[in-house]
Chains A and B, each alone.
Chain A
Amino acid sequence: MLKKMGKILVATMILGLGIAGAACAAEIVVNGSTTVLPFAQIAVERFAAAHPDVKISISGGGTGNGIKGLIDKTTHIANASREIKSSEIEQAKANGVTPFETAVALDCIVPLVHPSNPVKNLTFAQLKKIYTGEISNWKDVGGENAPIAVVGRDSSSGTYGTWQELVVEKGDKEKKSRVTPKAQVTASSGAMLTTVANNKYAIGYDGIGYVDKTVKAVSVEGVEASIATAKNNTYPMSRKLYMYTNGKPAGEVKAFIDYVLSADGQKIVTDTGFINIK
């Protein structure tokens, strides 16, 4: 009998130690924007490799889902490709959560045409009409009398999502606009570049990190895309990418966000086609 009780005691002790041990290992849950995912995922992997004691997991459920997770305290870091809404801040406060904003990168998308194309500038309205198929000749936007070959990205790409939101669906209320089905689809940023570089009628778009001399970047609403205009917020198709935390980051969460903002972290940002913020 005594022996049995002893066994149970030992088992309880081991179990207790186990639970205490699990509680000691810090856990960080990261969720949110799929736009942020490409560099956040690499940052998470490298951070986890350097800090084996920290359990860190990342998923991309979308900005809204990430912030929802922050509000109901299931997520420690919410990645966001937009600023938090006032309604979300109110919900958070009601739940005892104070969202704290840290901008970690800049996202900047540039419309591209063939180098021989005389068009230098396009407005949002013109870009939207080109991509929905309403305008199909370059002469309607100040170019030569030639057809427009619309080139887009595959619908799962983050660049597609940003373009959709900033250009195609701009100003839409209920009914969301669609990219014309005649648009050609390229499966990567590199393929987009080659396609536009090889077609004198083409228009496409890419993250600024990919743009090189084989194509011509078009300015939007009179502003030329550059790292400077993206950083001072004058280029209209740039936006900050954020990581939201509950209150000022502390402990392991702070360590991770500091890593993202460090030189190494910002290098991941530029390597994945975004603009560093530091």
Chain B
Amino acid sequence: MGLRMGKSETTSHHFGGWGDKAAARTAFSVSTICILIMGFILYFLVKESLPVLKATTLSELLFGMDWYPQETPPALGMFPLIASSLAVTFLSSAIGLPVSIVIAVFTAEIAPRRLRSLVKPLLELLGFLPSIVFGFLGMVVVAPWLQARFNLLTGLNMANASALLGMMMVPIVGSLADEALCAVPRELRDASYALGATRWETIRRVVLPSALPGVLSASLLGVMRATGETMVMLMAAGGAAVIPQSLFDPVRPLTSTIAAEMGETPVGSEHYHALFFAGLILLLITLAINLLSAKIEAKGLKTKGGNL
């Protein structure tokens, strides 16, 4: 008893030590700086985007169909751009997320240890490829092939950009989801097998639901990566400012619009402010995805609790 008391005293002494205090203060100031920088970016974005409302109305901006910002007066309808952004995000997630999760299940649950130690670094290596490499691939390899194969008007289209984005998602989402699956305690699997469940039943009913929050936040990272990706969109999406009617229509998301036009637009013009507004919309879209996933995660946890 006396010994334990003494031990706890030493631990408490270590806890309040000089090193701990310094570390705590450093962490606190670094995170404060991060929050301040975030706040500053947000402030700047709002400040630079709001003047566009002097030139046009909010509903015209959000639901207008014509994007001809160089005209006088400029036509600043962003609906086709927003629709393109959402469509590409959705399509690339539909391609990338299932593949990532299947790969994660394979590396974490099925693959023998030696294969896993080969596949996982390879996967992570893929994640280091710069997006311009993917964009270039889409432009000079995928686009001509797509066009010849399906006899399309252009190979630079939504399907091309979404497939590339889906591929870019796989390393990030796959690797993070793999770690989430590995973190599920071994006892849960053993208990499941002891109850006579097959491997597939164990993965589907026990491992995946337990790892759900981790898998979800991994997927979320992938989806936001797709929403914010610029280079691939600029190079492979085609860039027509129309609402896509088919998978093979060229699209023009908000990101590539900002990248293509910001460089040469006069600072302080309506076009300039409209491009900042596009950035604000992007921020709101990612925020919405974030909130949605938090909600799904909370719901998932609840149903999981009910099942167990």
Contacts and interface: CB of A to CB of B under 8 A. Distances in A.
Contact of B154 (A154, A158, A187, A201): A201
A181 B260 contact: no
Interface string A132-160: 00000000000000010100001111101
Contacts of B68: 155, 178
A182 B260 contact: no
A183 B250 CA distance: 9
Contacts of A119: none
Contacts of B140: 194, 198
Find the residue from A156, A158, A191, A199 having the highest chain B CB count within 10 A: A156
A267 to B, nearest CB: 23
Contacts of A194: 139-140
Interface in B184-228: none
Find the residue from B66, B147, B259, B264 having the highest chain A CB count within 10 A: B264
A195 B139 CA distance: 8
Interface string B69-86: 111000000001000000
8 contacts: A149-B153, A154-B264, A155-B261, A182-B242, A182-B250, A186-B239, A187-B260, A198-B155
B254 interface: no
A270 interface: no
A184 B261 contact: no
B166 interface: no
Interface of B: 65-71, 80, 139-140, 143-144, 147, 153-156, 234-235, 238-242, 250, 252, 256, 259-261, 263-265, 271
A185 interface: yes
B70 A195 contact: no
A131 B260 CA distance: 20
Task: Using C-beta atoms within 8 Å of the partner chain, give the interface range for chain A.
Answer: 20 to 34
Contacts of A199: 143-144, 147, 154-156
A199 B259 CA distance: 23
A185 B143 contact: no
A200 B68 CA distance: 27
B156 A154 contact: no
A254 interface: no
A109 interface: no
B235 A198 contact: no
Contact of A154 (B80, B238, B242, B260): B260
Nearest to B147: A199
Nearest to A198: B144
B241 A198 contact: no
Contact of A184 (B69, B156, B263, B265): B156
Find the residue from A147, A191, A198, A202 having the highest chain B CB count within 10 A: A198
Contact of A198 (B143, B256, B264): B143
A54 to B, nearest CB: 26
Contact of A185 (B66, B155, B239): B239
B156 A155 contact: no
A184 B240 contact: yes
- Which 8 A-B pairs have CB atoms at the shortest separation, nearest pair first? A185-B239, A156-B264, A187-B260, A154-B260, A155-B70, A149-B154, A184-B238, A181-B242
